[in-house]
Structure 1
Amino acid sequence: MALSLIYKNHNFGLLWLAQFVSFVGDGVFQIGMVWWLVNKTHSGTLLGLIMSVSFIPAVILGPFAGTLADRAPPKRLLISSDLIRAALLLLFAWISHQDKLEVWHLFVLTGLLSASGIFYSPTTLTVIPRVVTPERIDEAMALHAIIRDLSKLLGPTAGGALMIWFSVADVFMIDAFSFLFSAICILIMRIEKHSCSQTQEGIFSQLMEGFAYVRKETILFDVLIGFSLLNLFAVPILVLIPIMIADVFHRGSVELGMCEGALSLGSVLAGLGFDYFFKGVPLSRLLVRTLGFSGFLFLGFAIIPNFYVFLGGLLCLGGCFITVNVGILTLFQQVVAPEMKGRFFSLVETISSALFPITLALAGFSADKIGVAETLAICGIGTFILTFRFAKIKGLSTLDLSKTPKSGGG
Structure 2
Amino acid sequence: MSAVPARARRLPLVLRNRSFGKVWAGQLLTQAAIRMFQVGAVWWIVSLAGGAHRGLASGVFLMVSTVPAVAFAPVVARVVARHDHRTVLAVAAAVAGAVAVTAAALAALGALPVAAAYLVALVLAGCQAVFDPCLTTSVPELVEDCDIESATGCELATQSVAGLVGGLLGPLVVEAGRLAELTAASGLAYLLAAGLIVSARFARTGVIRQVPDGSVPGRRTLRQVLAGRPFVRRVLVCFAAANFFTTAIYVVMPLYTRTELHAAGSTVALLEAALGAGALVGSFTGGRLPGPPVAVASVCLAVVAAALALPGVFAWHATAFVTMTVVGWCVGVIGVRFIALFQRLLPAGDKPGFFAVMQAMLGATFPVSSLVFGALGDHLTARTLCLIQGAGVVPVAAALWWLGGRHEAVEQPTPTAPTSVPAKEPS
- TM-score, normalization: structure 2? 0.78
From 44, 54, 62, give the equivalent of 1:51. Answer: 62
Q: CA deviation at 1:156?
A: 1.5
- Rounded to whole Å, the distance in 2 between the matches of 1:130 and 1:321 is 26
Equivalent residue for 2:246? 234
Equivalent residue for 1:41? 50
Equivalent residue for 1:352? 362
In structure 2, the CA distance between the partners of 1:12 and 1:331, relative to structure 1 (3 Å rule), is closer
Give the conservation status (yes or no) of the 8 Å contact 1:2–1:139.
Answer: no
**1:88-237 equivalences in 2 (<5 Å):** 88-125=99-136, 139-165=150-176, 167-189=178-200, 195-197=207-209, 200=216, 206-210=221-225, 212-213=227-228, 217=230, 222-237=234-249
Deviation track 1:191-215 (CA, whole Å, cap 9, x = no partner) reads: 5666422665999x7233345445x
Q: Does 1:379 align with 2:394?
A: no
Q: CA deviation at 1:168?
A: 0.8
Deviation track 1:286-338 (CA, whole Å, cap 9, x = no partner) reads: 4554333322222221121111211112111222333445566678789x686
From 22, 28, 39, give the equivalent of 1:31. Answer: 39
- Rounded to whole Å, the distance in 1 between the matches of 2:265 and 2:67 is 27
In structure 2, the CA distance between the partners of 1:97 and 1:183, relative to structure 1 (3 Å rule), is same
Deviation track 1:163-219 (CA, whole Å, cap 9, x = no partner) reads: 44451111111111112222333344455666422665999x7233345445xx4x6
Q: CA deviation at 1:268?
A: 2.0
From 292, 300, 306, give the equivalent of 2:316. Answer: 306
SS in 2 for 1:395: helix
- Rounded to whole Å, the distance in 1 between the matches of 2:138 and 2:37 is 26
Q: Does 1:63 align with 2:74?
A: yes
Q: CA deviation at 1:370?
A: 2.5
Give the conservation status (yes or no) of the 8 Å contact 1:70–1:126.
Answer: no
Give the conservation status (yes or no) of the 8 Å contact 1:366–1:372.
Answer: no
Select between 324-333 and 227-236 the one with higher mean Cα deviation. Answer: 324-333
Q: Does 1:265 align with 2:277?
A: yes
Aligned length: 394
Equivalent residue for 1:77? 88
From 258, 268, 273, give the equivalent of 1:246. Answer: 258
Structure 2: 5+ residue runs without aligned partners?
A: 1-8, 414-427
Equivalent residue for 1:20? 28
Q: CA deviation at 1:221?
A: 5.5
Give the conservation status (yes or no) of the 8 Å contact 2:23–2:196.
Answer: yes
Equivalent residue for 1:408? none
In structure 2, the CA distance between the partners of 1:339 and 1:170, relative to structure 1 (3 Å rule), is closer
From 296, 306, 309, give the equivalent of 2:306. Answer: 296
**RMSD (Å), alpha carbons:** 3.6
Structure 2 counterpart of 1:27, which letter?
R
Give the conservation status (yes or no) of the 8 Å contact 2:90–2:198.
Answer: yes
- TM-score, normalization: structure 1? 0.81
Give the conservation status (yes or no) of the 8 Å contact 1:207–1:346.
Answer: no
Q: CA deviation at 1:102?
A: 1.5
Give the conservation status (yes or no) of the 8 Å contact 2:36–2:166.
Answer: yes
- Rounded to whole Å, the distance in 2 between the matches of 1:190 and 1:346 is 23
Equivalent residue for 1:406? none
Give the conservation status (yes or no) of the 8 Å contact 1:210–1:340.
Answer: no
- Rounded to whole Å, the distance in 2 between the matches of 1:298 and 1:4 is 34
Q: CA deviation at 1:264?
A: 1.9
- Rounded to whole Å, the distance in 2 between the matches of 1:138 and 1:332 is 11
